[in-house]
Amino acid sequence: MKVDTMRAVDRHVGIPLTFLLTQLLRLKELFLPRPQSKPKRILFIELSEMGSTILADPALRKARNMLGAELFFVIFARNRASLDLTGTIPPKNVFTLRETSLFTLAWDTLRFLRWTRQQSIDTVIDLELFSRFTALLTGASGAVNRVGFHRFCGEGLYRGEMLTHRVAYNPHLHIAKNFIALVNSLLAAEPELPYSKQLISDEEITLPQVQFTATELDGMRRRVAERYPDYNPTRHRLVLINPNASEMLPQRRWMPERYVELIRRILAAAPDALVLITGAATEKEEAAEKCRQVNNLRCLNFAAAVRLAELPLLYSISLLMVTNDSGPGHFSSITSLPSFVLFGPETPKLYGSLGNSTSIFAGLACSPCVSAANHRKTPCIDNKCLQAITVEQVFAAIAPLLSADYVR
């Protein structure tokens, strides 16, 4: 389904359903008081953003380590591969929902409700900020403990009243810390209103780094050589360019012609550089067009050349990456790759990468223009926030790494 269709369904169908389910849960707990249960089998819900699975990983690991719980996860099928990057959730504990049509989504939802009971899920943590659909999944899951963000006295989206642990979403705190606040509500010594009243340090949102064998790294180098037969890792350095972003927020895309100009400058400044334009299979033609415009054999179309699960391998043999604010900026955070992320409608203060990352952000008065309060939908059709970021500015940021004496 299209993003706008999903938003419309979430609003017009979600509001009455969340209201109805709220009343049903109140009736149930009136006659059958909620039993006290220590979390043992925790289900996390995050459907639509692949990058958020990385940002949520510190919270997942805290739940596992501090509560000793077995972890489960539900996510849209198209985003499933992002969970494998960290390996925190066992593959057998992942449930996927298809959103290709209303019928498949409804059918998979019914399967989900059966699955949560088969798995004896006792706790659900809803990581979403603005989805009434995930609120319904949480309320109908059968879990004793139901954790999520609540609007309290704010003007945020109505999502019913189905939570046992209502956590205040803090729009001034990085989203990774907000996710940890959800877990902290389960660790509180006594009930709080609102949850959670604990300090969350920067050390809590660090990510473990993946490690690869020399054989695995050599295998990825051979993949590059398939596209550029003269590639020699002792003589060439790889620069990655990710010029795309998801359809959920196309305003995050820097202008294609600026990427073309940036690539030309990189190739002129670093004769040993190979520029790989990365992306999904649907972005192959766009990448090919950029290669045609650059018109240099050292600019390679690498879209769909590797699977998502193999991206950390590619990052581990590369010099740097320039990317729009999208999944790859977060995927690279489990490696040491220096990434340069262009922000516009979002802000790095809330959604910056947890890795070796430099945010490039113009900071216009209108940015960020998407939030939990507006369903991440903006009326903007002229993204001045990204137009304000010049090729000169981006090149100046990466130039020190392109110098001949820089060694990663």
Fold match, 3-205 / 214-402: yes
Give the per-residue pLDDT at 256: 94
State which fold the 214-402 domain adopts: Rossmann fold (3.40.50)
Asked if residue 242 has pLDDT above 80, the reply is yes
Please state, in angstroms and rounded to a whole number, the distance separating the CA atoms of residues 82 and 377. 24
The answer for residues whose C-beta is within 8 angstroms of residue 262's C-beta and 6 or more apart is: 241, 322, 391, 394, 395
CB 338 within 8 A of CB 238: no
What is residue 287's predicted lDDT score, i.e. its pLDDT?
96
d(CA 100, CA 110): 16
Res. 353: pLDDT tops 70: yes
Q: Tokens in use for 264?
A: 């030309």
DSSP state of 61: H
* Helices 14-31 and 132-139: angle between axes, nearest 10 degrees: 20
| Residue 376: partners with Cβ closer than 8 Å, 6 or more residues away | 130, 248, 249, 370
Whether 46 and 56 have beta carbons less than 8 Å apart is answered as yes
Q: What contacts 140, CB < 8 A, 6 or more positions away?
A: 21, 113
Alpha helices in 124-280 (DSSP H): 132-139, 175-187, 214-227, 256-269
| CATH for 3-205, options being 3.30.420.40, 3.40.1110.10, 3.40.640.10, 3.40.50.2000 | 3.40.50.2000
Give 136-172 pLDDT, tens digit per residue: 999 999 999 999 999 888 777 788 999 999 999 999 9
What average pLDDT does the structure give for the chain? 93
Give the C-alpha distances (Å, rounded to integers) separating 53 from 46, 86, 124, 176. 7, 9, 16, 10
Q: For the chain, which residues make up each domain, given as ranges?
A: 3-205, 214-402
> Taking 90 as the threshold, does the pLDDT of residue 30 lie above it?
no
Q: What is the pLDDT of residue 197?
A: 94
pLDDT at 375: 72
What's the rounded mean pLDDT across residues 308-313?
Answer: 96
In terms of phi and psi (left: phi > 0; alpha: psi -120 to 50; beta: otherwise), the region of 190 is beta
- Over the stretch 357-406, which tens digit does the pLDDT of each residue have? 999 999 999 999 887 777 778 888 899 999 999 999 999 999 999 997 77
3-state secondary structure of 25: helix
